[in-house]
Structure 1
């Protein structure tokens, strides 16, 4: 597969129409149709089906679209870094979940872009599995991992900050009167849990005998939408401290857990892989901010 043809395929998938894609790409519609047909022949699968004059992706086409975007993004990033390797420029890409440790990282990023204004920053938000996948396929320079997940295949740097678990609740909830929340307090309550916490069984030991008495109504990956449920007084939410605005008038407040439950924060990158000049600078400044 040629990169040029992958670009053609992505354009057709995004437009859902061969004529519109051809106009966007500045090539003829018959030539574009032939390139897509040749790609399907090469791969031995159908990538599109036609429904109501619109091209829709088949399951194979959807898979190729996801992979093609990753390949094209990695290609563009590599090209940019190679073209600017003689000075500090290019792209710095970081995948991260929501964490108090991001303030330190953003302080370092701010120092980089102030000193080197041609640097382009790309911040991708997602949980552990998302950040690890992006790091593995090479489309990010660094991933910020929150929690005790093992990282044997990566080099890592542990930040001094720690994320502390607690409960986000509506300010009208009776639990607001308590300074900290115990497992017993959650018995019989509707609770929204972090998907990452579910994957790593974060609360299994903490809840102890109360595990089966909590009504877990679902999960979230990032805080914003879950916070809306809390504001509607529909559920409590297990989340990390300092991620949600709990100022007067916000409608929500936060209480830490007892016994306390904390997460370490690590910045990880591929071991034995040469970093670009801007990634090297970021890592140097991050280490200097800690040691």
Structure 2
């Protein structure tokens, strides 16, 4: 048994039992993947995969039991290297942050700037993705830290700390009728076409819930993945925008008017790491820069009890 065989088992499952995709992901040949699987099955004396001819259809019961052990072994193998690097290369390495456009564009720039000043030898990678994709990247070991409003706190295998609270703002062209109202109610908004986030992004569920609970069938004429797109079409007077309040920049968005509101309640953006994933010291420093009040010791205890 060797680590390459274990990686092949894991990658085959990740690629939905497609050996062509698994071999491509591991930069090896399909015949090599098949041989490693057969060698491991012969060594263990059990069949790990359900087969139909040469095709793999799924995991057998022993294969399902083995997969969890394989995942833990490969995570711990990576943790051993990170642990050694924390002693040998204290301020060097790579840190991958998976986050949404809103966080990467409007919230993280000063944090990233400060982090690079403190850790100039750390290669920082920002991966933009949806909240669901961010969760998956953390679980698959493709990201060290995830930052999003949705999805992170509902996954049992992630440890999370709150980053910041925020509310939605209403965005309109200058001199729009809504700008002349002192206290905008949800029924006022329901009179206009709405441009806001796509489902699953940046508090969209709270927007939908607010209109539904008020009894309005709102006309969402356009949904987008990021606030920049929303603001572009609001400028064209195609509708009223609803965005994260941090996404409005008075200097850049001078053609638009921001209207603060509490109609849609308070949202929380979270920072998450995978449980069992040994985060390098500078990773925790990044989290501390984001949220100085975060209980890093408690996060470490939940994320990696043996640390």
- Please state which band the TM-score falls in when normalised by the shorter chain: 0.5 to 0.7
Q: Hey, what's the Cα distance between the residues in 2 that align with 1:89 and 1:259?
A: 45
Decide whether the 8 Å contact of 2:103 with 2:148 is kept in 1: no
TM-score normalised by length of structure 2: 0.61
1:233 paired with 2:237, answer yes
For residues 7-55 of structure 1, the C-alpha deviation after alignment (integer angstroms, 9 at most, x for no partner) is 9958xxxxxxxxxxxxxxxxxxxxxxxx87868999xxxxxxxxxxxxx
Aligned to 2:246: 242
For residues 79-100 of structure 1, the C-alpha deviation after alignment (integer angstroms, 9 at most, x for no partner) is 9968854122111111222149
| Consecutive unaligned residues in structure 2, runs of 5 or more | 1-7, 12-19, 36-74, 296-307
1:274 paired with 2:263, answer no
Aligned to 1:211: 216
1:265 paired with 2:269, answer yes
> Would the alpha carbon gap of residues 116 and 166 (structure 1) be closer, same or farther in structure 2, given more than 3 Å must change?
closer
Q: Hey, what's the Cα distance between the residues in 2 that align with 1:279 and 1:249?
A: 33
Aligned to 2:178: 175
Decide whether the 8 Å contact of 2:139 with 2:157 is kept in 1: no
| Consecutive unaligned residues in structure 1, runs of 5 or more | 11-34, 43-73
Decide whether the 8 Å contact of 2:138 with 2:145 is kept in 1: yes
> Would the alpha carbon gap of residues 173 and 260 (structure 1) be closer, same or farther in structure 2, given more than 3 Å must change?
same
The alignment yields a C-alpha RMSD, in angstroms, of 3.9
Q: Hey, what's the Cα distance between the residues in 2 that align with 1:199 and 1:240?
A: 8
3-state secondary structure, aligned to 2:258: strand
Alignment coverage as a number of residue pairs? 231
100, 122, 126: which is aligned to 2:125?
122
Per-residue deviation, 1:227? 1.4
Aligned to 1:188: 191
141, 145, 149: which is aligned to 1:142?
145
For residues 94-141 of structure 1, the C-alpha deviation after alignment (integer angstroms, 9 at most, x for no partner) is 1222149964x5544434322321111111223322321221221111
TM-score normalised by length of structure 1: 0.64
